[in-house]
Structure 1
């Protein structure tokens, strides 16, 4: 019968029979010759019925007049019962008409083997998990490092003034008193701080500030900070002034306090830097033309044609503009709330138009000498 119990022990025996027998003969001898030896409660047939003994597996090898092999009996009894049954099987001296000898080789604790498998598997899981955790930890450290290393401490000018590496490229600058202040602002995520290093303002600072769109003074909240502020204002243009709380130095502030103090200025600068800018100063005359019509033209899906005096020649839907273009119309500028296409360029050239302005350009083969501009390039949108 199929075995459905939980195996605790494997009883392993070897046997030697002085004759040729089959596996069924070995199994029959095990059941038949142990029956009644240990009482009805230890009868193998009865133990199988209650799933205490599993299916007996037998392997045999035969020679001319001898059969040898081994038997494995899975058992879910206690160890004492398993030992008694093993001893009973060892008492078998015949298989059929032939002399036989059975010998116990081992009683294996299956649970111990399972425990070893569990421990080995647990070690494997721990090893994989540790590797994964270390890898994830490295990634987390890398992410944090990237955030905290957006700027580095460096120097500026002949005087080697301490500053953040963003001072050179940032559109705005934060003037602080000393090196420790620069380091503290770096911790807070601001890499555009420059230390003035004392009350006397270096000339190189003045030149740098002139190149920035906004100059911020962030000074200590003590009396000395007030004196330095006066000196700064006499030397450079100061757009915004921030002070640490009274009697507190900037280097003593926490990163969170620094962010809180500078957040409004930082937000204003973020908005300013995202505003459209005229990309080429030479295009300013064209930009002025576009600015004149853009407010009424934007999101209208229309096109407006202007002559040299900026008088309106016509205003039509973009879908009709090509049909309106003709030679000798006196159009100099064509401004449209749409895409500049090759078909439009070809028609504009035939009409003698000099400049076409739109939101963006399609994949163009040739501009044919026309001036083509987008509202973004002109700093309008």
Structure 2
């Protein structure tokens, strides 16, 4: 019996403790797991305090809804949070609000809310409790999330985050700008292949060169204005030149000046009304394939007053037979190019220019047999018999005799070779390897697919 009293005393003690603390046995305020919040108001016909209201809630609902919905058990397991009560007295009566956070489902929460309205007394006074509403905390959070997400999205849109394609284009643009070089005393914008390419494309401005670079054409150079620079005039006498201008009035004026002061071989223009800098790769290729010999353009444009596009339209309408009558024959154009090469070689022999590292001029490959062939006759006969490669110094002494298959490897290692004699094919790869060394002569059986070489390097073939 004594033990039972002790247990009863403990229960009463805990009850008084909970009442003083505001109805929370564990002292926890777990709003993190709250799903719903019950809002209710009460009115008591007398003066009561907050502990009286909390005590009435626990006391009058005890055993009312069974063990599963007992408020004490629910608080112990954390399914009901701290019950908050606000009171104020007026004219001998007490008014206030009750807030009950719940992590139960909606049905159980509604039952619990209805149970609060069964309380009819608080302390010594009669009382009435009315549930105002049950708030879904998750719905409130969802509303907040939607509103906040809108604000974040607006901020992101204002910052103009670039698309993947824009990032890619930005990187490509930086790479193209790095490939761009400055050529000649006027520092003209040019592609990286201009110093050594046999043929060049003359365009109007820097943007045109960048657009051609974008589509893989690296032998373009810009005139940068309506006045043709001396560098362009000089290059036109040494290279095969294609004038590629815009399809507007400005492009026509630049073309006329180019044809008058420079040695232009072919003329190509952007489609009417378009600029070279805005052309697609397909349009660029089509325009360059439709280029017209400069002689025909000069004749039609200056003598007959026709525009370039009139000439192109006539060429497309007349067909192949008419084209043969108007255009110089293939042999005639080849002869013109050959004459241009011969004039270039004569100028190089009569007026040797100092070599500067900033301007590495490349001449077309000779088509005739070299007069130096006799100087290397002895070595040529030797490599024909033995099938080896000979590396010679400046005094034409044999430095090393190696198998032909080891030639490229040895040339990468040695820097004292003046001439190479071998019974094999001179290729562009071999020329590229020796271009950075002191090699001045390559003597081989024949050439294959050679498109460029340094000015200081002489190619000699002894068997065609």
Q: TM-score range by the shorter chain?
A: 0.3 to 0.5
Q: What is the TM-score normalised by the length of structure 1?
A: 0.47
More helix by share: 2
TM-score of the superposition, structure 2-length normalised?
0.40
